[in-house]
Structure 1
């Protein structure tokens, strides 16, 4: 999974957990909604300034967007 996909998955998950739509998050963070959509699709890179704006609104640390998902075991016991 490349880093854009890691940020995309985390942003989408955290946004939904916090109950924000893309539109409401964009408004609160003063970011264009289509840019949020591109971030969540992994279609573009997020700069540090954007990550800080998003983390402030979502009340998480910027580093939370860079956490790789836990590896799932493919084996059955």
Structure 2
């Protein structure tokens, strides 16, 4: 049985990477835009970090995505 936290981390990882690449941002550029460390962005994308709501909101803002829309996308990914 898959842990719901693992599903959530996987979905967050996938969405952050997809949105970042769609905008042509490097991990370093995204990190700079949202005031986070590049290694943290990398660890999120590799499913190595649990993301706080605050960090997720900063990332969403830097990607030009409404945080609530990002959560809707997360829900859709988890339900697949």
TM-score by length of 1: 0.82
Change (3 A) 1:19 1:70: farther
Is 1:56 the counterpart of 2:72? The answer is no
Cα RMSD (Å): 1.7
SS at match of 1:5: helix
Q: Which of structures 1 and 2 has the larger relative contact order (alpha carbons within 8 angstroms, sep 6+)? A: 1
Where structure 1 has 5 or more consecutive residues not aligned to the other structure, the ranges are: 72-77
Q: Which runs of 4+ in 1 moved over 4 A?
A: none
Is 1:31 the counterpart of 2:28? The answer is no
Report the count of equivalent residues: 71
Where structure 2 has 5 or more consecutive residues not aligned to the other structure, the ranges are: 1-5
Question: When you count helix as a share of all residues, which structure comes out higher?
Answer: 2
TM-score by length of 2: 0.79
